[in-house]
Amino acid sequence: MTLQTNFYFLSPVEVVKVTPKNIEEVAEWCGGKVAETESRRVEGRMDKYVWVPTPKGTAISWAFPGMFITKRVVITEKDEIKVTFSVFRKDYFKANFFQSPEVAVDKTWERQARAAITNITNGKIVTPKDLKEQLTGQIKDDVAEGSLIVEFKPPKTEPNGLMSMVAQREAIVESAVEKAAAGDPDRP
How does pLDDT run across 70-110, given as a tens digit for each residue? 999 999 999 999 999 999 999 999 999 998 888 888 888 88
pTM of the model: 0.61
Task: Pick the last residue of a domain from 96, 127, 152.
Answer: 96
Domain closes at, from 59, 78, 96: 96
Nearest to 90 by CA among 70, 115, 112, 113: 70
Q: What distance, in Å, lies between the first and last C-alpha atoms of the chain?
A: 36
Q: What is the DSSP letter of 26?
A: H
Residues 53 and 107 in one domain: no
φ, ψ dihedrals at 165, nearest 5°: -60, -35
Q: Give SS3 for 88.
A: strand
Closest to 107 (Cα-Cα) out of 169, 167, 180: 169
**Same domain, yes or no: 140 and 165:** yes
pLDDT of residue 89: 96
Q: Are residues 74 and 54 in the same domain?
A: yes
**Sign of the dihedral through C-alpha 157, 116, 111, 67:** positive
Overall number of domains in the chain: 2
- Is residue 20 assigned to a domain? yes
Neighbouring C-beta atoms of residue 156, cutoff 10 Å: 11
79, 92: one domain = yes
Residues spanned by the domain of 172: 101-181
In a domain, 186, yes or no: no
Are 144 and 87 part of one and the same domain?
Answer: no
Parts of the chain with a pLDDT under 70: 116-188
The CA distances from residue 146 to 129, 152, 171, in Å, are: 18, 20, 37
State residue 118's pLDDT score. 64
Does residue 143 form part of some domain? yes
CA 107, 129, 140, 123 torsion: positive or negative? positive
Are both 34 and 68 inside the same structural domain?
yes
State how far the Cα of 91 lies from the Cα of 42, in Å rounded to an integer.
Answer: 22
Residue 26 has a pLDDT of 97
Q: Are 46 and 62 spatial neighbours (Cβ–Cβ below 8 Å)? A: no
pLDDT at 165: 60
pLDDT of residue 49: 96
Domain edge (last residue) among 96, 122, 137: 96
pLDDT at 8: 84
Q: Which residues contact 27 (CB under 8 A, 6 or more apart)?
A: 33, 34, 50, 51
Is residue 82 domain-shared with residue 21, that is, in the same domain? yes
